[in-house]
Structure 1
Amino acid sequence: MRLILLGPPGAGKGTQAQFMVEQHGIAQLSTGDMLRAAVAAKTAIGLQAKEIMDRGDLVSDEVVVGIVSDRVDEPDCAKGFILDGFPRTVAQAEALDEMLEQKGLRLDTVIELAVDEGILLDRIVKRAEETEGGPRADDNAEALAKRLSVYREQTQPLIDYYSGTGLLSSVDGMQSMDEVRASIETVLKEIA
């Protein structure tokens, strides 16, 4: 089972991905984690990424896709994987499709966690107020509003892209955590 979780920051992608990892024994692939691991392992693509990051530049789509490509070849991805936080743009989605096709693989589904941004902002503010020891640096309304704006501009076009492929399933992310989980499981049963 190979899938992508889409949704704005704070929609619960990480929480739901972790459940799928435990439930289905598939790997959760976070591009940030993969990038750090490739740099630490001093792989060819990791060394290339380190050089780019050391200059203070953003890692190109080509390098990120290369890191994802290396990662999906790892043994823990044999049963499948969840991409969380990648792709972020239509160009990355197209590069991902091409890379998977070259490996003889394909995505099984793309699950969008659809949320109400206003309620999401309220949740973040409430979570920040309730966090012991103070909130995370990005756990505030201003930071979330900025991240949501970037999401709408760069990532939301993926909804149309994957809808056009027939892979997109939308789940109401405003339900309780358990209801979202059950809705995702319904989608996964349909593709099994």
Structure 2
Amino acid sequence: MSKQVFVVIGAQGSGKSTQAERLAKRLGFTRFESGEILRGLALKDEHLRDFLKTGNLLTDENIAVIVERFVEDNSSATGFVFDGFPRTITQGPILKQLAEKYGWKVVGVNIVISDETAKLRLSKRVSVVDGKETVRDDDRPEIVEKRLRVYHERTEPILSYFKENFSLIKINGEPDRDAVTSEINAVLAHLLDG
């Protein structure tokens, strides 16, 4: 029997990580969250940390190695929820190769929001470090602008790849997170039962 894999796609501020976490928990799947994994790796690698602070993306080859290692390390997982991979059109074939190699059924979940909503949400997002609230380096306004531009230029094209090679569902990400979760659950209940 093939494993089900969901790929949550959306701009920064769309709530994709929250929704990916909720989806993985609901289904009992293992979650791959690229940002969290990369931030963890960056704690050990100053060069990577400095590179990520600029808002740039890693090479496809680097991401492929990280994802493949994660999948192999979690081979007993009942399914996966990917958040932040694939992020570019050139990473689409990497996912397709993995799907063929491991026998996955892949569904993309595209959470759609406006740039204005993304900027508003990210301007309010804070992290707690050493008991103090702070803005993440990648949530500074100039980095948010760059990341949204990179998303539109490099990530949005992956949507057409999904339409051609996998299933893709579109979710309105503008409402609050619970309403978005409800919409995802309703759509996926129909998809999984069908």
TM-score range, shorter chain: 0.7 to 0.9
Q: In the alignment, which residue of structure 2 is the partner of 1:44?
A: none
Residues 190 and 165 of structure 1, relative CA distance in 2, 3 Å threshold: farther
Q: For 1:110 and 1:72, how far apart are their aligned partners in 2?
A: 18
Q: For 2:32 and 2:76, how far apart are their aligned partners in 1?
A: 9
Q: In the alignment, which residue of structure 2 is the partner of 1:45?
A: none
- Aligned identity (percent) is 30
Q: In the alignment, which residue of structure 2 is the partner of 1:139?
A: 139
Q: In the alignment, which residue of structure 1 is the partner of 2:69?
A: 70
Q: For 1:182 and 1:71, how far apart are their aligned partners in 2?
A: 29
TM-score (norm 1): 0.77
Residues 37 and 69 of structure 1, relative CA distance in 2, 3 Å threshold: farther
Q: In the alignment, which residue of structure 2 is the partner of 1:8?
A: 11
Which stretches in structure 1 are left out of the alignment for 5+ residues? 40-49
Q: In the alignment, which residue of structure 2 is the partner of 1:89?
A: 88
Q: Of Structure 1 and Structure 2, which has the larger fraction of its residues in strand?
A: 2
User: How much does 1:38 deviate?
Assistant: 8.7
The alignment status of 1:164 with 2:167, answered yes or no, reads no
User: How much does 1:70 deviate?
Assistant: 2.9
User: How much does 1:186 deviate?
Assistant: 1.7
Q: In the alignment, which residue of structure 2 is the partner of 1:112?
A: 110
Q: For 2:186 and 2:37, how far apart are their aligned partners in 1?
A: 29
Give the secondary-structure state (helix, strand or coil) at the position aligned to 1:112: strand
Q: In the alignment, which residue of structure 2 is the partner of 1:176?
A: 176
Aligned amino acid, residue 120 of structure 2 = D
Q: For 1:18 and 1:28, how far apart are their aligned partners in 2?
A: 7
Q: In the alignment, which residue of structure 2 is the partner of 1:21?
A: 24
Residues 106 and 70 of structure 1, relative CA distance in 2, 3 Å threshold: farther
Which stretches in structure 2 are left out of the alignment for 5+ residues? 52-56, 127-131
Q: In the alignment, which residue of structure 1 is the partner of 2:129?
A: none
TM-score (norm 2): 0.77
Give the secondary-structure state (helix, strand or coil) at the position aligned to 2:133: coil
Q: For 1:124 and 1:37, how far apart are their aligned partners in 2?
A: 21
Contact 1:29–1:83 (8 Å) recurs in 2: yes
Which has the larger displacement, 63-72 or 3-12? 63-72
Q: In the alignment, which residue of structure 1 is the partner of 2:121?
A: 123
Q: Deviations over 1:121-174 (max 9, x none)?
A: 12323446xxx6342223233221111001111101011221233511000000
Give the secondary-structure state (helix, strand or coil) at the position aligned to 2:86: coil
Q: For 1:111 and 1:36, how far apart are their aligned partners in 2?
A: 23
Higher relative contact order (CA 8 A, sep 6+): 2
